């Protein structure tokens, strides 16, 4: 499965950016968001966790389209992958 970098290309090395439409990390090759990226996101959005939820929600929506997700089981799987790792605060979102 060769990576197709024909679009985008603004990501820097070490940025752990998602490669679409496969949604694998372009740095470590793990499913995005990979563990290093989660740490980066938490640090980046630590003052604005709500915006992180919005951002990940947008990524989830895009990935759902890119990956042609159909069944509810797979949608739940993607939700867990993109949003389920967020540390839960008192009220969540």
59 binds Zn ion (CB under 5 A): no
CA 84 to chain centroid: 11
Q: Contacting Zn ion (CB under 5 A), which of 17, 19, 34, 63?
A: 34
Half-sphere exposure of 62 (CA within 13 A, CB side): 13
78 forms part of the interface with Zn ion (CB under 5 A): no
Q: Cα–Cα distance between 31 and 25 in angstroms, integer?
A: 6
The window from 28-36, 40-48, 62-70, 85-93 that contacts Zn ion (CB under 5 A) reads 28-36
Beta-carbon contacts of residue 7 (< 8 Å; ≥ 6 apart): 20
Q: Binders of Zn ion among 7-26, rule CB under 5 A?
A: 16, 25
Smaller CB separation from Zn ion, 17 or 50? 17
Asked if 3 interacts with Zn ion (CB under 5 A), we say no
Q: How far apart are the first and last CA of the chain?
A: 37
**Where does this chain bind Zn ion (CB under 5 A)?**
16, 25, 27-28, 34, 36
């Amino acid at each position: 499965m060769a990576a197709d970098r024909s679009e985008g290309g603004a990501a820097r090395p070490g940025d752990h950016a998602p490669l679409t439409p496969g949604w694998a990390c372009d740095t470590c090759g793990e499913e995005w968001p990979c563990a290093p990226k989660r740490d980066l996101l938490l640090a980046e959005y630590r003052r604005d966790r709500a915006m992180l939820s919005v951002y990940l929600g947008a990524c989830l929506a895009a990935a759902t389209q890119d990956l042609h997700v159909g069944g509810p089981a797979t949608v739940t799987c993607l939700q867990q992958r993109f949003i389920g790792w967020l540390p839960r605060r008192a009220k969540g979102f």
